[in-house]
Amino acid sequence: MSDFNEIENLWKSADIKILAAESLDSETVKQAITKQSIGITFNLLKSIRAGILVLTISVAVFTYNIYGYAGNSLISLFSIISLILSILLLPYLFYQYSSINKIDQSDLSLENLIVAKIKYFKMSLPLVRHAIAMGFVLMTLSINLLTDNNKGHFQINNTWLFLGLMIIAYVLIVIMFNLIHNLYLKQYRTALIDLNESKLTEMAAELRKHKWMRLLFLVITLLGVIAGIIIFFLKTTGN
Amino acid sequence: MVSKNKERRIHEFLKLLSENQGIIYKICNVYADSREDRDDLKQEVILQLWKSYPGFNGKSKFSTWMYRIAFNTAITNIRKSKKHPIVQALSGAELHVSEKEDIDYLNDDINRLYKAIAKLKDVERAIIMLYLEEKSYKEIGQITGVSEKNVSVKLVRLKEKLKKLMSKQSSHV
């Protein structure tokens, strides 16, 4: 096909056939509107909802544990700190839920939308992953405190195994999310390269500025939490 | 009062969608390889349009807004595919190269055109499709976010590429 006009004519001729063969009735639209999305946004929102649910459970159970372990100052303190952490993470996840919806519902141009999504994936999503993983660990800890209770003493048969499993669970959840999200990130980056490669370079430079700060914040938080849990278990193995 | 407003919005949305429904079908034909994928993508696009409709402020044409949302949905959603997603991601930029099924109600030449377009990258398909829809460089730029100058540069290359792909398709018949 040497002349592009032939291609243009072919395309126009398809229009009539498409409109003759396809039709959008209100039933089809209503069905589509109530259908669940299959996209990355839906899966992200689902994960955040799961994080909100587990944090809500841990808030409720830690609140009860503070009352139940009133006679044990160490476990009360641990429960109070865990409760505060759960309460702080909840509005954070709600905020992220609304941020993702905002990006998804905006009518930015394709390039700007992909840039917004890549920025979200690189800047906010890593912390969201950790918040969700932390939520699951906190919920498990709160339920264990509730059930492994011997007259106000916290009792675990194998403390170090329990601690190890908590840390492994946390790490596995984060790794799993990371692997899944990186697939989508790769697709967005490819689309952006095809649209405007220089935009990717500009954005990479912007993201690099904040990278070390975010990493430092994350490392300090994780070390703090892990140290807290280890100290807690060291103290309770004597009970 | 609330439900009357909502009914009015749904009615408005349906009317605008109906007037521009060709956009949905053409994008689904370009981006989906099978009937099942086309149906899925159509539902996904309509859902996304509905979710984003409250944000439509009328500053741009409805069709321009619709193109943006529909292309974004098609390009940035990973769709069902025969290939495992990890293998897809590792294979590089052309993540959606799979055998495209013929569309029943279109003739062989048009199906060959769709197959040729399917061999372009996701974003290239958007640009060439908008050009074939007789959108100006300015409109193509508004929808894709690419500058008018870049649009014209990309189109020179894409038109040549598409002509070559169509010639290859014809010689295989």
Give the span between the Cα atoms of B62 and B12, in whole angstroms. 12
Chain B nearest-CA distance from A118, in A, is 11
B91 touches chain A (CB under 8 A): no
Shortest Cα–Cα distance, A105 to chain B (Å)? 4
Residue contact B145–A109, C-beta within 8 A: yes
Distance of CA B3 to CAs A28, A30, B8, B9, B57, Å? 21, 16, 8, 10, 21
Closest alpha carbon within chain A to B17:
A24
Q: Where are the domains of chain A?
A: 2-237
Residue B154: band (very low, low, confident or very high) from pLDDT cuts 50, 70, 90? very high
> pLDDT of A3-13, one tens digit each?
889 999 999 99
Q: What would the pLDDT profile of A58-86 be if each residue is shown by its tens digit? A: 999 999 988 888 877 778 888 898 999 99
Question: Is the ipTM value over 0.95, yes or no?
Answer: no
pLDDT tens digits along B41-84? 999 899 889 888 888 888 888 999 999 999 988 987 755 444 44
Which residue in A4, A19, A110 is closest to B163 by CB distance?
A: A4
> Measuring CA to CA, which residue among B20, B75, B29 is closest to residue B53?
B20
Q: How much is the pTM?
A: 0.77
Q: How would residue A157 be classed by pLDDT, with cut points 50, 70 and 90?
A: low
Question: What is the secondary structure of A93-147 as a DSSP string?
Answer: HHHHHHHHHHHHH----HHHHHHHHHHIIIIIHHHHHHHHHHHHHHHHHHHHHHH
Cross-chain residue pair B29–A18, CB shorter than 8 Å: yes
- Please state, in angstroms and as integers, the Cα–Cα distance from residue B101 to each residue in B29, B98, B108, B111, B166, following that order: 10, 9, 11, 9, 16
Contact B77 A39 (CB under 8 A): yes
Nearest to B26 by CA among A17, A213, A75: A17
Other CB atoms within 10 Å distance of the CB of residue A31: 13
- Alpha-carbon distance of B63 to A148, in angstroms, equals 61
Closest CA to B131 of B113, B149, B154, B109: B154
Angle at A136 between CA A133 and CA A140, to 5 degrees: 145
- Provide the shortest C-alpha distance from residue B157 to chain A (in Å): 12
Closest chain B CA to residue A198: B146
Residue B88 has pLDDT above 70, yes or no: no
Q: Which CB contacts under 8 angstroms, 24+ apart, belong to B12-18?
A: B13/A29, B13/B49, B13/B50, B13/B53, B14/A26, B14/A29, B16/B62, B16/B66, B17/A24, B17/A29, B17/B46, B17/B49, B18/A24
At A98 the pLDDT is 93
Q: How many residues does chain A have?
A: 239
Cβ atoms within 10 Å of A75's Cβ, excluding its own:
23
**In 3D, which of A43, A37, A47 has the Cα closest to residue A183?**
A43
A113–B163 CB contact, under 8 Å: no
Contacts of A112 in chain B (CB under 8 A): 145
